[in-house]
Chains A and B, each alone.
Chain A
């Protein structure tokens, strides 16, 4: 009997990020390839969204989507109980994992007990959150991401830059180079179709070898105990049909009550995420193969993760649980559009990631506490969200909750500020002092360097000391 070493879960944010959040934004801004790739992605998403609104009635579907998800969260405990019961009734195993450690331990123990060596994975944000790949590799398993974008970044040893299109920051030449390294040959096509065909064959080798297939779950339908997996490529179809064992990893908030609700969300999701009115493949899986069936897994395990989600119910952040992980808020965000997802240092990037990463990790966690501040609060994300999450409001609340030495310093400054600015007389005095200072430092109507906190302003801009500003 092997000894079990309890792995301390290092949180949600990546443990190998360099520098501060601001440093990473500066690095990202220096990368012209990244800028081009993100702009292409953003423009195409924007154009697609217009088509969804104009031709497919996307806007009309959003209110109902919001109401469904809010009702799901209100009824979460009962729905999860029903889901669990129905999965079991259909021959599946259900495990409720309190945190990343429990989930990873269950899955690695299962792999060990079944003598598995190769694991084929389809895309799952929840498995990135709990750092499952690290845990499995640590346990000696070969883990292969089969989603094309995820496989590309696995080969590149990078983190994804977007929830739906993880390799959006790389272009085809960069991808061809990675494929050449993996295959150990220069004989790799350089056109898009050729690259995809090459990947198809390489990854089928892995499907043939894998004893375990691990997928995420887009929705769990309580009324029948069914997990829904939405994709365009077909790799999740293979992950859930070829290996002998299927493990589905699900965030506890991803539950809907019935097929009426599921049908609505399953239509809204691809519209919001990829501006299509249907995803290519949706797998609706209820337990393992039935008696007499000759393909499909013999075992089905559903691992439902709490990881801090349960505590959000009833809090001022409850609405984040409505999220269906479509990635629209990322595409719409001017910050994300300019720095990409890797700068966030978390599997969850963009506005939703900036809110939930510190929520799941803790308000003073250095890897994530600054994230809610990396936003102008422009509100584009709130407009983009198909389930009506008030993202800009939640960003402000997340800022109030965040805790850091810099924030405590700012807190002292604001205390002084509020003492001075809650009275007309002291307010006017600060204004006189400020305007005098501007006039003294001004050259030709502009101040080129401000001291202290103002230095952030003048690092990249001038401050007008006369108005209207001189050209």
Chain B
């Protein structure tokens, strides 16, 4: 998984549950991130991310945010905002994160902000895309309104057919793989 993520030009670190909050906050501080928008998810709490971010002097918002569209899109307010997501699954073979929209997890969290940090539980990694999709859309499970398969930060090769980062989605993708 680590190797595939690197191939996708994401950055990745592995941390235990006890260290992950500080590790994520540290990475964000290094990037100059001033505000983080967090998914409302048990994993966020389990690693103590909020207190770690406040300690790093980073403004914390929790989903759902009371913000106009312009601010959500970064046209107003600070530029260096980071969306923090919690994948339901990840695909090791391809370096792909599976993000599901839900009441606590905005579907745009990883794309509307300039930066993206993803908190991936190590036991949620499966080998192939087929497995990930079979589990996501298993019989009897309610179908999510939006599932986003995210493989690396945003890219465009529309200008001279050479891959350039950052056309619309996040410019950075940092994955923290959380081991028990």
A interface residues (Cβ-Cβ under 8 A, vs B): 37, 40-41, 44, 90, 146-149, 152, 165-168, 171-172, 175, 192-193, 195-197, 199-201, 203-205, 207-208, 221, 223-226, 232-235, 237-238, 240-242, 259-260, 262-264, 266-267, 274, 277-290, 292-296
- A281:B156 contact, CB within 8 angstroms: no
Check if B145 sits within 8 Å of A296, measured CB to CB.
Answer: yes
Among B112, B137, B154, B161: residue with most chain A CB under 10 A: B161
- Are the CB atoms of B143 and A259 closer together than 8 Å? no
Name 15 extra pairs, CB < 8 A, besides A192-B159, A200-B166, A295-B108. A165-B161, A196-B159, A204-B75, A226-B137, A233-B158, A234-B154, A235-B168, A238-B73, A242-B69, A259-B134, A281-B151, A283-B149, A290-B102, A293-B101, A294-B106
Interface residues of B in 112-142 (CB under 8 A from A): 112, 128-130, 133-134, 136-137
Interface size of B as a range: 35 or more
Q: Which residues of A lie under 8 Å from residue B155 when comparing CB positions? A: 232-233, 280
With A278-B8, A288-B145 as known contacts, state yes or no: A293 contacts B103, CB within 8 Å: yes
Enumerate chain A residues within 8 angstroms of B169, measured Cβ to Cβ. Answer: 233-234, 237, 280-281
| A193 contact set on B, CB distance < 8 A | 164-166
Judging by beta carbons under 8 Å apart, are A90 and B143 in contact? Answer: yes
Of chain A, the residue at the smallest CB distance from B132 is A263
Against A, the Cβ 8 Å flags (1 = close, 0 = not) of B90-109 are 00001110000111001110
CB distance from A12 to the nearest CB of B (A): 24
Q: B168 contacts A146, CB within 8 Å?
A: yes
B111 touches A238 (CB 8 A): yes
**A296 to B105 CA separation, bound complex (whole angstroms):** 11
Q: Which 4 A-B pairs have the closest CB atoms?
A: A234-B169, A234-B168, A149-B158, A294-B64
- In the complex, how many angstroms separate the beta carbon of A150 from the nearest chain B beta carbon? 8
Is B157 a contact of A274 with CB atoms below 8 Å?
yes
> In the complex the two chains form, is B146's CB within 8 Å of A208's CB?
no
**Is B153 an interface residue, CB under 8 A from the partner?**
yes
- By a CB distance below 8 angstroms, the chain A residues around B136 are 259, 284
Counting CB contacts under 8 A, is B148 at the interface? yes
Contact of A204 among B64, B74, B158, B162 (CB under 8 A): B74
Pair B168/A238 contact, Cβ less than 8 Å: yes
Bound complex: CA of A292 vs CA of B144, how far in Å? 13
Say yes or no: B161 contacts A44, CB within 8 Å: yes
Q: Is the CB of B160 closer than 8 A to any CB of chain A? A: yes
Residue positions of B touching A, CB distance < 8 A = 8, 63-64, 69-70, 72-75, 94-96, 101-103, 106-108, 111-112, 128-130, 133-134, 136-137, 143-162, 164-170
Residue of A nearest to B7 (CB): A277
Q: How far is the CB of A105 from chain B (nearest CB, A)?
A: 28
Residues of A within 8 A of B129 (CB): 263, 266-267, 278
Known: A233-B168, A284-B148. A167 touches B108 (CB 8 A): no
Contact of A148 among B95, B96, B101, B156 (CB under 8 A): B156
Q: CA separation between A223 and B150, bound complex, in Å?
A: 23
Q: What separation, in Å, do the CA atoms of A259 and B145 have in the docked complex?
A: 16
Which of A203, A277, A287, A294 touches B168 (beta carbons < 8 Å)?
Answer: A203
B137 nearest CB across to chain A (Å):
5
From A149, A234, A293, name the one whose CB has the most chain B CB atoms within 10 angstroms: A234
A296 touches B151 (CB 8 A): no
> How far does the alpha carbon of A168 sit from the alpha carbon of B162 in the complex, in Å?
10
Name the one of A90, A197, A225, A279 contacting B151, with C-beta atoms under 8 angstroms.
A279
Q: Are B103 and A263 closer than 8 Å at their CB atoms?
A: no
Q: How far is the CA of A193 from the CA of B168 in the complex (A)?
A: 12
A241:B158 contact, CB within 8 angstroms: no
Given A259-B137, A284-B146, A293-B102, A171 and B107 contact (CB-CB distance below 8 Å) = no
A232 in contact with B156 (CB, 8 Å) = yes
